[in-house]
Amino acid sequence: MSVEPALLAKETAAPAPKPGRTGRLGRDSGIIFGAAVLLLMTLIGICAPLLGTKNPSDINPAFRNRVPGIEQTIRNDDGSTTTFKYRMGTDSLGRDIYSRVVYGARVSLLIGIAVAVISIAIGLFIGLIAGYLRWVDAIVMRLMDGLMAIPAILLAIALVSLFRAGLVSVIIAIIIPEIPRVVRLVRSIVLSVREEPYVEAAIMAGTRTPLLLVRHILPNTIPALIVQGTFICANAILIEAILSFLGIGIPPETPTWGNIMAEGRGLFRIYPHNIFFPGICLALTVLAVNVLGDGLRDRLDPKLARRM
């Protein structure tokens, strides 16, 4: 059997990296950019109180709907004055948008990461079993098909309507539509790995099924799941924003980028800063995570592009 065609194929599959630092940087630029922005946003969220913000729920009726840049002089108890600059303006209740956006990073990112981790964990578990045990497969795939038939946002909306509005219910409502896709991905990997001779050799060595799944089959799913996880994170942040925008997301006491925009939609024509500042932050973060996911996929397994 000739390896010549394989030689040719190998050469055409991945373009040889250009020698030197720029070549390597060029290939991983997506990962670097995405990870950097994500890290930045996370830091901003964590360090929110230290970044010149005030309490995001502070209602200040005197300063409603101010344009960005306006300043307010506050008289303190001891007679001194402090000036506070509303860098991004205020919303219809006089709250500082800059503070809300910075604190909003916390919730939006928390939702993104929580949804990604939990849906991957659940999907992996179900997918492994469904891929390996045929009778489980038949039932599970029917269920997954049914769930996937309902467009994701509709499903999330419906689930949110079932529970009282809150962080946990929103997270659950976003997780459930993501699970079927993860299950499908894991299952397809399991089905193909199952046929590999080394798995059959392990069967012949007497390895029991649970150990077989964990030791030989599961590691093959990790690269795909890492990539899928980043895309789920990006999607979750988007969906939370949409839910909040429609008024069925997280209540406005806890600022998220989505509900800041929701509040501002009524007066959009005159005060667009309500929507633009959180919108840009949201778009940038989601973009960064998507680019990170792309970069990871190109690095870990280019064949994934077809599976997803």
Partner 1 sequence: MQMTASAKPVLDVQGLTVRLPGGADRINAVENVSFAVSPGEIVCVVGESGSGKSVTAHAIMGLLPPRQLTVAGGRVLLEGDDILAKSRAAMRKIRGARIGMIFQEPMTALNPVMKVGDQIAEVLDIHTALNERERRQRVLDVMGSVHLPEPERMIDVYPHQLSGGQRQRIMIAAALVLDPALLIADEPTTALDVTTQAQILKLIKELRERRNTGVLFITHDFGVVAEVAHRVVVMQHGRVVEQGTTEDVLRRPRDEYTRMLIRSVPSLSPPARKPLENSVAVLQTKALNKTYTTGGLFTARHDVRAARDVNLIVCRGETLGVVGESGSGKSTVARCIARLIEPSDGAILIEGADVAKLSSRKLRPHRKRVQIVFQDPYRSLNPRRSVGAAITEGPVNFGMTEGAAHERARELMRLVGLDADALTRFPHQFSGGQRQRICIARALAMEPELLVADEPVSALDVSVQAQVLALIDDVRKRFNLAVLFITHDLRVAAQVCDRIAVMHRGEVVEEGPTATVFGAPAHAYTRALLDSAPGRDFDFGRFDAE
Partner 2 sequence: MAGYILRRLAATVPVMLIVALFVFLMLRLTPGDPAAIIAGDNANAEQIALIRNRLGLDEPIITQFFIWLMNILRGDFGESFFFKKTVAELIASRIEPTLALSIATITIAVCIAVPLGVLAAYKQGTIIDKIVMGFSVLGFSVPVFVIGYSLIYLFAIKLNWVPVQGYQRIGDGFGGFLQRLILPSVTLAVIYIALIARMTRTSVLDVMGEDYIRTARAKGQVEYKVLFRHALKNAAVPIVTVIGLGVALLIGGVVVTESVFTIPGLGRLTVDAVLARDYPTIQAVILLFSLVYVLINLLIDIAYTLFDPRIRY
Give yes or no for residue 135 binding partner 1 (CB under 8 A).
Answer: no
In sequence order, the β-bridge partners of residue 90 are 96
Give yes or no for residue 198 binding partner 1 (CB under 8 A).
Answer: yes
Give yes or no for residue 228 binding partner 2 (CB under 8 A).
Answer: no
Residue 277: which of 255, 254, 253, 251 has the closest Cα?
255
163-195: buried (b, 16+ CB within 10 Å) or exposed (e) per residue? Answer: eeeebebbbbbbbbbbbbbbbbbbbebbeebbe
In sequence order, the β-bridge partners of residue 82 are 74
286 binds, among partner 2, partner 1, none (CB under 5 to 8 A by kind): partner 2
Among 167, 203, 267, 304, binds partner 1 (CB under 8 A): 203
Question: In angstroms, what is the minimal distance from the CB of 103 to partner 1?
Answer: 43
> How many Cα neighbours within 13 Å face the side chain of 117?
6
Q: How far apart are CA 71 and CA 89, in angstroms?
A: 9
Among 11, 145, 196, 200, binds partner 2 (CB under 8 A): 145
Measured over the CA atoms of residue 272, residue 277, residue 282 and residue 288, the dihedral's sign is positive
CB-CB contact of 32 with 25 (8 Å)? yes
Among 207, 287, 294, 300, binds partner 1 (CB under 8 A): 207
Q: How far apart are CA 125 and CA 114, in angstroms?
A: 17
Interface region with partner 2, contact rule CB under 8 A, candidates 19-27, 65-73, 155-163, 203-211: 155-163
Q: How far apart are CA 127 and CA 192, in angstroms?
A: 13
Give yes or no for residue 15 binding partner 1 (CB under 8 A).
Answer: yes
Please identify which residue in the block is written with the tokens 């895309």. Answer: 231
Among 204, 253, 269, 306, binds partner 1 (CB under 8 A): 204
19 binds, among partner 1, partner 2, none (CB under 5 to 8 A by kind): partner 1
Beta strands per DSSP E along the chain: 70-75, 81-86
Question: In angstroms, what is the minimal distance from the CB of 211 to partner 1?
Answer: 8
Give yes or no for residue 135 binding partner 2 (CB under 8 A).
Answer: no
Q: How far apart are CA 170 and CA 174, in angstroms?
A: 6
Binding residues among 246-275 for partner 2 as defined by CB under 8 A: 246-248, 261, 265, 268-269, 272, 275
Give yes or no for residue 58 binding partner 1 (CB under 8 A).
Answer: no
36 binds, among partner 1, partner 2, none (CB under 5 to 8 A by kind): none
207 binds, among partner 2, partner 1, none (CB under 5 to 8 A by kind): partner 1
Which helix (DSSP H) or strand (DSSP E) does residue 84 occupy? strand 81-86
Which residues of this chain interact with partner 1, rule CB under 8 A?
Answer: 1-8, 11-12, 15-16, 19, 196-198, 200-208, 215-216, 219
